[in-house]
A and B are shown apart, each in its own frame.
Chain A
Amino acid sequence: MEFKLETFLFFFLAVSSIISAIMMITRKSPISSALFLILNFFTVSGLYLLLKAQFIAVIQVLVYMGAIMVLFLFVIMLLNLQDKSKFKEKYSYKKITSLLLSILLFCILSFTLYFGFTGKFKAMSDAAGDLGKAETLGAELFTAFSFPFELASFLLLAAIVGAVVLAKKKFN
């Protein structure tokens, strides 16, 4: 098998995204979890670039890493959490059962993917290079998909109002 940059990049990004996701769920401190999640988002945005979705990769960096993760880090630092968890034991039945359940879920997913899509697609579509451009996406977003676009803006408005009301009110 000859050396190809794309293959190398794909395996590098995929493996580092999986490692950072595992690190994220195993770290004790929420801050390091958040930082590993940022690393994971970064590698996934690299995978978007390999799939020729440039605009999605850019807004992944801007929206997920720039906005959402800053919000998370802000809240974690605001609350000043200490780990006072009652479950001190490292391996409880609960944890082992949840681990087995997620492994089962992974087996089901990979089984379905393997038998569903092997050999269905020979190569990436020729149109893929144009699809990821902001121009194409914007044209579609404002013509064929204008109603979902407006709904999304309405959803964001509702989220802003809800967040303000929830964070302000003192309910008892």
Chain B
Amino acid sequence: MIDINYYLLTSAVLFSIGVAGVLIRRNAIVIFMCIELMLNSINLTLVAFSAFLGSISGQIFVFIVMTVAAAEAAVGLAIVIALFRNKESVNIDEINILKW
């Protein structure tokens, strides 16, 4: 029997790797992928608690998180395409038009 701590620890490691990726990488698409990784690690936490508490709410929440992830990917990639059309780059150091 595997303790819940191991699942939570795996999830924490994946989340931290996602945060490191968002901070280190400069490519907008890779940053989106790191956000997907973080959402996925949160899903792992929710499913682990759902199984150990014997409650269905965690798995319902995973549904909602997946919906949000799909919506975020669609809109985010549309933004990346629109930016690439205007700037010819997806490097976020060159995309600073909202910075003053």
User: Is A25 within 8 A of B21, CB to CB?
Assistant: yes
User: Is B15 within 8 A of A109, CB to CB?
Assistant: yes
Residues of chain B contacted by A72 (CB below 8 angstroms) = 29, 32-33, 73, 77
User: Is A18 within 8 A of B17, CB to CB?
Assistant: yes
- C-alpha spacing A134/B68, complex, angstroms: 20
Least Cβ distance of A158 to chain B in Å?
A: 7
Residues of chain A contacted by B20 (CB below 8 angstroms) = 25, 98-99, 102
Interface residues on A, range: 35 or more
- C-alpha spacing A85/B90, complex, angstroms: 10
Per the CB 8 Å criterion, the residue count for chain B at the interface is 73
Tell me if B95 counts as interface (CB < 8 A to partner A).
no
At the interface, is chain B mostly helix, strand, loop or mixed? helix
Which residue of chain B has the shortest Cβ distance to A13 in the bound complex? Answer: B10
Residues of chain B contacted by A67 (CB below 8 angstroms) = 70
Q: Which of B5, B29, B82 contacts A114 (CB 8 A)?
A: B5
Counting chain B CB atoms within 10 Å of each CB, the highest count among A126, A136, A137 belongs to: A137
User: Is A50 within 8 A of B2, CB to CB?
Assistant: yes
Residues of chain B contacted by A159 (CB below 8 angstroms) = 70-72, 74-75
Which residue of chain B has the shortest Cβ distance to A132 in the bound complex? Answer: B59
How many A-B residue pairs have C-beta atoms within 8 angstroms? Tell me: 233
User: Is A103 within 8 A of B16, CB to CB?
Assistant: yes
Residues of chain A contacted by B60 (CB below 8 angstroms) = 137, 140-141, 145, 148
Least Cβ distance of A150 to chain B in Å?
A: 11
User: Is A124 within 8 A of B52, CB to CB?
Assistant: yes
User: Is A162 within 8 A of B75, CB to CB?
Assistant: yes
User: Is B53 within 8 A of A125, CB to CB?
Assistant: yes
Tell me if A87 counts as interface (CB < 8 A to partner B).
yes
Q: Which of A7, A18, A95 contacts B14 (CB 8 A)?
A: A18
Residues of chain A contacted by B32 (CB below 8 angstroms) = 72
Residues of chain B contacted by A79 (CB below 8 angstroms) = 29, 80-81, 84, 90
Q: List 28 A-B contacts (CB under 8 A).
A: A7-B2, A21-B13, A24-B37, A25-B17, A25-B30, A37-B33, A44-B43, A47-B7, A51-B7, A51-B47, A51-B51, A59-B63, A59-B66, A68-B36, A79-B29, A79-B80, A98-B20, A103-B16, A105-B16, A113-B9, A123-B1, A125-B52, A132-B59, A141-B63, A148-B64, A149-B63, A162-B74, A162-B75
13 additional contacts (CB under 8 A) given A25-B24, A34-B33, A131-B56: A41-B40, A53-B62, A63-B66, A71-B77, A75-B29, A79-B29, A81-B90, A102-B20, A125-B53, A137-B60, A156-B67, A166-B75, A171-B82
